[in-house]
Structure 1
């Protein structure tokens, strides 16, 4: 089995390598190719990856290259974890929206749109080259914004599926609170990427007893603290929103916070500098603890399970939370919308499980953000100031024409080098 990681020079990659090494019985990788255009980072990450494999007696071969076509040739699956524009672009995404009093974040609001505009054309080019190299290869997208990127891939007919680590993070946390193994916890997870709610927590599978009410009764304070929302909000909702919902439920509070502290991008950039110093140590042969603060917790386990299921292996079980076509699962959305839900995953792809009627409290926001994502994808594929403006105007975190106009100008000014039409 050959797997390729595009963006293999990322400081995330040792997390992925650790998972491949530990879970080799689930996903028996014989060749792992790390592709990245940054040779110095790739050399450091690749060397550490080989040491991790060696320490854990993994017999797989690790190859590093900056040649995308060579890297994806004969690959059974290709994982995408790239960041167009790097941390510099991310810091811009997190700062210029604040000038208009809007949240600055890399996947939500105006910053998220900027990232989509930079990313979609690049990902589609990569995907086309993967298809030419091996039309049977699966593309697993971890590149944000996952929902929009996955929809772009599926719209062009690629064998693609989107992956996020939010659900597996909740699964692991709830398992600890309940004192059970993660495999026993099945989430009723519904929404869009970075716009999801856990509406049920079932023990043993989709038909298991829902323990969410008792979980909230005993641990609402703990859960709310992680979400950085008041306990009363979580109790009144009666469900567990993803932490990205704080950008909606406490927008103005978040804006004030972001204006008075260093950006997350600045924090991550400093963390990356420290991580790369660690990776350069020839004695280091495991992922460092600092990596846990970088983000992407449990990404490796989710990626291994998903790749194993798609390639005909057992994985962790028959159901996984993925980003896939709606196809009637949420009747208030178009069939070609990309939703994030539990699905049965196998070599033919993902089949979303039936979802109970969605409370209007969530359904309205899901529908609104889906409309924004449709406009965002149109802007990413076709360009033009007016399309950018319409996408921003439709976003529920913006929604005022003056803000949308000002943000459009700022977005284009900060991303001109990445926008072929600008």
Structure 2
């Protein structure tokens, strides 16, 4: 018949202790005055099952003394009476595994594998909900646990944008910001504020966007340099949308100057920035368009292609065709615009990004307003309608933003 004494004897012998030695260090219950020390006969009775340990606190102390895993005596690592977590090793290994899964999902997105990335996040979300329900409160207060939760909200927000779920995205970003405020970590605060600012930029609320992005910039100077790169790149876009050429170039130049701090391999990125020089140049390209400088966007094309090929940035590379299509549209080069827009639409379908498809339809709508009678424009519309399954409308209700 099982009793605690069997386990206690096993671990006492592993520790090389005699019954008398264990008796001298045995924790006494508070009912008997506390402290340490009992008779060796008491230990003998415990090990043979003639006496039982009824006090849970005493049993926990014995387990700690003999290094007995709490599960061996049917106890949890979490003690609800003292709100303490004895050992979180197993739980933290799960946290580490979930963090690795997040990094892999970021890598999938970088490679334009949005469908698989969403599938991973759906399964991770189910696991996360179950994990939260069964995780002791003490562990949920751990910094690494909360940081993981913030990063989870970040990626869910990014994927929500790809699915045109913009309200859902900003909700995730505010959840991320709430955690960042609690932790007061500069990198996390910079990232969360930046995400919120980018969404306001997407909505066309430029002043509010710049306010958040400049707060993010200020926090980024207290974080590793890679965060400065990320924040300044996105801040440059907001400055461009506001019509401020000087600050646009200044912010983008600063991002490029620090770009040597970025990691090309997202799995090995110690800061979890997940950004590249190609992304910075993409923001520069988009900024020139916002400033009505299509020639500058096209002049940057060769450099962008070279950098993206080196970094294998297939997602950003796909988005660049949209910039070039918009540049040619501004210059009135209809056939070149149609060619680039056709390529972008194909890439958007391949990525499975509703947000990207909406942007393609937005540019097509502009083409039709100005060159609706052109044969190449009519042909492109027919292609897009066929790819869309015969949809009769191609809405354009979201401010165009970069990549």
TM-score (norm 1): 0.23
Q: Which has the higher contact order (CA 8 A, sep 6+)?
A: 1
Higher helix share: 2
TM-score (norm 2): 0.23
Structure ID, larger Rg? 2
Higher strand share: 1
